[in-house]
Amino acid sequence: MHGPAARSCIPHGLLPSLAVTAFRRHSGDIDEHRRIGLSRIQDDQQLAAVYDVIHRRRDVRSEFSGGPAAPAVLRRILAAGHAAPSVGLSQPWDFIVVEDLAVRREFRDHVLGERSRFADSLEDERSERFAGIRIEGVVSSSVGVVVTYDQERAAPAVLGRHTIPETGLYSVCLAIQNIWLAATAEGWGLGWVSFYRETVLADLLGLPHEIRPVAWLCLGPVTRLADAPDLERAGWRARRPLSDAVHDGRWGAGPPAGFEPADDGR
């Protein structure tokens, strides 16, 4: 039920609470969930499956196998994106599926140009480190999915957007994370490429004026998923401990009870 595989992908700091609370939740909790018809996740193994996918997910550049992208799998993955929440139920996203290698090569060439520009902006030491980091799998992945934002959808009275215009863009990102997790669960990888000029990508795909590209997602089967983020393995940047990111009641108040740093600092 909670074998070594499920254990190994969850940060060490979470193990005690997961082991005690999730994997061995006392049966009363579970019975209560079932009685009120609340949770269709029927046992701890299923809860662990969701956390497994969340913690195992990686931003993939180098591990795409190039194997076929089965349409039925792609449909399930994009349906997961389409099931995301959105401000005012506006569902302001669209998904453009790009298989054509000529289009993908053209986009890849643009991305590599932007990469050079970024490299030129770096100081020597950072520049050397950056040279060893791969930033895209546009051609090596099986398919590209460009996710876009339509700011006119459901306008003018988008319920929940009147004080914060960016909430429409926020909704698009929620769809992207659903896609990311569904792909991971399917045994695919996903890499979000953001080294591009929006106008270039908009022209490449014939986007109307009101449609803004938000992401180029490289998708497809992978040979494996790395245990740690590429940028951490390359020494670009290390992850921050959870306890630094959680504040009790007010900014800077320190973590609430239960969020103290774990043994490994996470």
For the segment 108-167, give every residue that binds a copy of itself (CB under 8 A): 114, 117-118, 121-122, 126, 130, 133, 135, 148, 154, 157, 159-164, 166-167
CB of 124 to a copy of itself, least distance (A): 12
Among 78, 138, 217, 218, binds a copy of itself (CB under 8 A): 78
Among 52, 61, 108, 217, binds a copy of itself (CB under 8 A): 52
**Beta carbons of 65 and 103 less than 8 angstroms apart:** no
**Beta carbons of 154 and 92 less than 8 angstroms apart:** yes
User: How many residues bind a copy of itself, per CB under 8 A?
Assistant: 134
Among 26, 28, 124, 257, binds a copy of itself (CB under 8 A): 257
**Residues 17-46 within binding reach of a copy of itself (CB under 8 A):** 17-18, 20-22, 29, 33, 36-42, 45-46
b or e along 160-188 (b: 16 or more beta carbons within 10 Å of the residue's beta carbon)? ebeeeeebbbebbbbbbebbbbbbbbbeb
Residue placing its CB nearer to a copy of itself in the complex, 139 or 231: 231
If you search the block for the tokens 């896609």, which residue do you land on?
179
Among 2, 14, 66, 152, binds a copy of itself (CB under 8 A): 14
Asked whether position 254 contacts a copy of itself by CB under 8 A, the answer is no
Among 75, 132, 210, 235, binds a copy of itself (CB under 8 A): 75
The binding track of 171-210 with respect to a copy of itself, each residue x by CB under 8 A or -, is --xx-xxx-xxx--xxx----x-xxxxx------xxxx--
Asked whether position 105 contacts a copy of itself by CB under 8 A, the answer is no
User: Among positive and negative, which fits the CA dihedral 77, 46, 8, 244?
Assistant: positive
Query: Is residue 97 classed exposed, middle or buried when 0-12, 13-18 and 19+ CB atoms within 10 A define those classes?
Result: middle
CB of 138 to a copy of itself, least distance (A): 14
Residue placing its CB nearer to a copy of itself in the complex, 45 or 62: 45
**Beta carbons of 75 and 143 less than 8 angstroms apart:** no
Among 23, 51, 151, 155, binds a copy of itself (CB under 8 A): 51
List of residues 6+ apart from 137 with CB closer than 8 A: 60, 61, 62, 64, 191, 218
Provide the 10 A C-beta neighbour count for residue 248.
11
List of residues 6+ apart from 6 with CB closer than 8 A: 48, 49, 52
